[in-house]
């Protein structure tokens, strides 16, 4: 949690972005795994955290744009609840810690909202992420669940995205704290990834490091020797000499900011020559892409730069052919690089995408492509100082996709399918760093996690 002035300032700036009405922030409630008293780990709604700071279930906040009034709704625990979960700081004191002086019990929230509706005042909502939140809005506002989306305030969505997209120095410090946890996760995985070890042993150790260092996982661990599956959450394989393992994971700081790093690890401690060739293409694409990060540069242009580097590198290996620019324009490279280059990162690992992916990554000057590969680009608009982004090029050999494209004769002028056949069992390579956009360029965040071939081999041999 930041100091109270940080939250006051955030709410003040938000109020100034809206014309009138009430802003309603619903915090998350606990979600039961199999019965009410056995919940999943609690994770607060990120926009609630950003503006109101409190990390407890069952809360709500109302900001009156016209009067400047701010109310937090919550309840102190009963004695019976204290018996099971322990005492808590009085709710009024929690509210004071985030700069809110007025509190009410949750039972009075519906009355406040009903009064506003009777006065025909606007109630600004963000898109609810969880079904529980949809049902709560139905109860509070008397709306059918299928009409909730119609009540979402586009003005509020835009204002929240504009504000959360530009990270303050204290937010950057939180992200670097998450990346310090992530450093431990990745270096331990490199040391553990050996022939005969099951993937789940590494994935379990990685999650344990995040928790042991006072944080949590920012997202479920991806660790697999079947790296051609882009987001592979299966951990059942036993690693063999010569495999490549893609490890995509990140720690979450105590303040709930995310890290997101990917490394590719040679099982047995050494890359083969063929693996080095593919890895070098991806590593070069990463370096060149990061070097291009600067204010005013459309991220789509950086994605296309990475795509051209990948196509050129694969051309040198004989897997692609023809003019590089024409191949990328046609989308032929997407057989090997089918995803976008990166995304925003902050309180969410894919920051704010729950508010609308196109609202976060696109604007009135950038339209989402319908092409395979490029259409999956989550962030396309021009970069601004304060943006924190991931940069994560990759090359994958996906047998099912290769078979489909080959059977269709797709992009035969740019792809040598006969040579590609020799790579069917290759898997994939992805390398990812987290970058902040500065006024005069960029900075890679966090303690450097080994990614040069020699560094990775050194750690994988320890």
10 Å Cβ neighbour count for 212?
A: 10
Decide if pLDDT at 79 tops 90: yes
HEC string for 355-392: HCHHHHHCECCECCCCCCCHHHCCCCCECCCCCEEEEC
Which pLDDT band holds residue 452 (cuts at 50, 70, 90)? Answer: very high
Mean pLDDT computed over 66-84: 96
CATH of 169-460, picked from 3.40.630.10, 3.30.390.50, 3.40.50.300, 3.90.230.10, is: 3.90.230.10
Q: pLDDT by residue (tens digit) across 183-200?
A: 999 999 999 999 999 999
Average pLDDT of the chain to the nearest whole number: 97
pLDDT of residue 437: 99
**DSSP-assigned beta bridge partners for residue 71:** 62, 102
End-to-end CA distance of the chain: 38
Contact 244, 460 (CB under 8 A): no
pLDDT of residue 280: 99
Which pLDDT band holds residue 146 (cuts at 50, 70, 90)? Answer: confident
Which pLDDT band holds residue 46 (cuts at 50, 70, 90)? Answer: very high
Predicted structure pTM score: 0.96
Contact 264, 243 (CB under 8 A): no
Q: pLDDT by residue (tens digit) across 154-164?
A: 999 999 999 99
pLDDT of residue 44: 98
Which pLDDT band holds residue 1 (cuts at 50, 70, 90)? Answer: confident
Decide if pLDDT at 404 tops 90: yes
10 Å Cβ neighbour count for 240?
A: 11
Contact 349, 219 (CB under 8 A): yes
Cα separation, 377 vs 371, in Å, equals: 10
What are the structural domain ranges in the chain?
4-165, 169-460
CA-based nearest residue to 303, from 394, 233, 418: 394
pLDDT of residue 37: 87
CA-based nearest residue to 389, from 416, 368, 411, 360: 360
pLDDT of residue 143: 86
Tokens of 218: 């920012």
Mean pLDDT computed over 370-386: 98
| CA atoms within 13 A of residue 94's CA, in its CB half-sphere | 19
Which pLDDT band holds residue 304 (cuts at 50, 70, 90)? Answer: very high
Which pLDDT band holds residue 144 (cuts at 50, 70, 90)? Answer: confident
Tokens of 62: 């109302």
pLDDT of residue 390: 99
Q: At what angle do helices 299-316 and 273-292 cross, to 10 degrees?
A: 160
pLDDT of residue 448: 98
Q: Taking the C-alpha atoms of 255, 256, 261 and 266 in order, what is their torsion angle to the nearest 10 degrees?
A: 100
Q: Looking up tokens 């700069």, which residue turns up? A: 99
Decide if pLDDT at 145 tops 90: no
H or E element that contains 434? strand 433-438
Q: Looking up tokens 């450097």, which residue turns up? A: 448
pLDDT of residue 170: 98
Cα separation, 225 vs 402, in Å, equals: 19
Residue positions counted in the chain:
462
Outline where 319-365 has alpha helix (H).
324-330, 357-361
Tokens of 183: 């450093």
Mean pLDDT computed over 38-62: 97
Mean pLDDT computed over 42-49: 98
Q: pLDDT by residue (tens digit) across 254-300?
A: 999 999 999 999 999 999 999 999 999 999 999 999 999 999 999 99
Outline where 152-272 has alpha helix (H).
154-165, 169-192, 199-212
pLDDT of residue 84: 92
Contact 30, 57 (CB under 8 A): yes
Quote the CATH superfamily of domain 4-165.
Answer: Creatinase/prolidase N-terminal domain (3.40.350.10)
Q: pLDDT by residue (tens digit) across 103-122?
A: 999 999 999 999 999 999 99
């Amino acid at each position: 949690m930041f100091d109270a002035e940080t939250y006051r300032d955030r709410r003040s700036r938000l109020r100034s972005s809206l014309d009138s009405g009430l802003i309603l922030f619903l915090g998350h409630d606990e979600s039961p795994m199999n019965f009410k008293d056995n919940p999943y780990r609690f994770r607060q709604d990120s926009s609630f955290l950003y503006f109101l700071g409190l990390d407890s279930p069952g809360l709500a906040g109302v900001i009156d744009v016209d009067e400047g009034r701010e109310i937090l709704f919550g309840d102190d625990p009963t004695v019976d609840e204290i018996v099971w979960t322990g005492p808590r700081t009085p709710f009024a004191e929690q509210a004071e810690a985030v700069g809110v002086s007025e509190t009410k019990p949750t039972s009075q929230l519906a009355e406040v909202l009903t009064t506003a509706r009777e006065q025909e005042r606007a109630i600004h909502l963000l898109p609810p992420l969880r079904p529980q939140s949809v049902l709560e809005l139905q109860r509070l506002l008397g709306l059918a669940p299928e009409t909730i989306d119609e009540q979402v305030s586009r003005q509020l969505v835009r204002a929240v995205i504009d504000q959360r997209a530009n990270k303050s120095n204290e937010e950057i410090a939180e992200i670097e704290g998450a990346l310090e946890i992530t450093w431990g996760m990745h270096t331990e995985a490199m040391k553990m990834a050996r022939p005969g070890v099951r993937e789940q042993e590494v994935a379990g150790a990685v999650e344990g490091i995040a928790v042991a260092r006072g944080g949590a996982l920012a997202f479920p661990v991806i660790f697999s020797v079947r790296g051609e599956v882009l987001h592979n959450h299966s951990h059942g394989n036993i690693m063999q000499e010569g495999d490549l393992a893609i490890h995509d994971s990140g720690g979450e700081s105590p303040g709930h900011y995310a890290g997101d790093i990917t490394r590719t690890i040679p099982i047995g401690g050494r890359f083969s020559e063929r693996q080095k060739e593919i890895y070098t293409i991806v590593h070069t694409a990463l370096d060149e892409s990061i070097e291009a990060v600067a204010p005013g540069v459309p991220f789509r242009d950086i994605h296309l730069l990475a795509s051209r580097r990948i196509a050129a590198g694969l051309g040198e290996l004989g897997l692609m052919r023809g003019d590089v620019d024409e191949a990328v324009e046609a989308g032929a490279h997407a057989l090997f690089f089918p995803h976008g280059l990166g995304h925003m990162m902050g309180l969410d690992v894919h920051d704010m995408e729950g508010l609308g992916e196109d609202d976060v990554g696109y604007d009135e000057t950038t339209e989402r492509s319908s092409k395979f590969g490029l259409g999956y680009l989550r962030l396309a608009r021009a970069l601004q100082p304060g943006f924190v982004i991931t940069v994560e090029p990759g090359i994958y050999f996906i047998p099912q996709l290769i078979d489909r494209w080959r059977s269709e004769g797709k992009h035969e002028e740019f792809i040598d399918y006969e040579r590609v056949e020799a790579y069917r069992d290759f898997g994939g390579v992805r390398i990812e760093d987290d970058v902040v956009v500065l006024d005069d360029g960029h900075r890679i965040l966090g303690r450097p996690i080994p990614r040069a071939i020699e560094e990775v081999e050194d750690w994988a041999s320890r």
